[in-house]
Homo-oligomer: A and B are copies of this chain.
Amino acid sequence: MEAYKVLEVKQSVFATNDKDANELRAKLKEQGVFLLNLMSSPGSGKTTTLKRTIEALKDEFRIGIMEADIDSEVDAKTMADAGVKAIQLHTGGMCHLDAEMTRQGLEGLGLEDVDFAVLENVGNLVCPAEFDTGSSKNVMILSVPEGHDKPLKYPLMFSICDVVLINKMDVLEYFDFDLDKCREYVHMRNPKAKVIPICARTGEGMDEWFNWLRTEITEWKKG
A36 within 8 A of B: no
Could you tell me which residues of chain A, from 97 to 156, have a CB within 8 Å of some CB in chain B? 122-127, 130, 143, 145-147, 149-150, 152-156
Contact residues of A: prevailing secondary structure: loop
Residues B41 and A153 in contact, CB atoms below 8 Å apart: no
Residues B93 and A123 in contact, CB atoms below 8 Å apart: no
Report Cα–Cα, A153/B41, bound state, in Å.
12
How does the 8 Å CB contact mask read for A34-46 relative to B, with 1 for contact and 0 for none? Answer: 0000000111000
Shortest CB distance A194–B (Å)? 21
7 tightest Cβ-Cβ pairs between the two chains A and B: A43-B146, A145-B145, A95-B126, A41-B42, A41-B41, A43-B147, A72-B152
A-side residues, CB < 8 A to B, are 41-43, 69-72, 74, 93, 95, 122-127, 130, 143, 145-147, 149-150, 152-156, 168, 170-171, 174-175
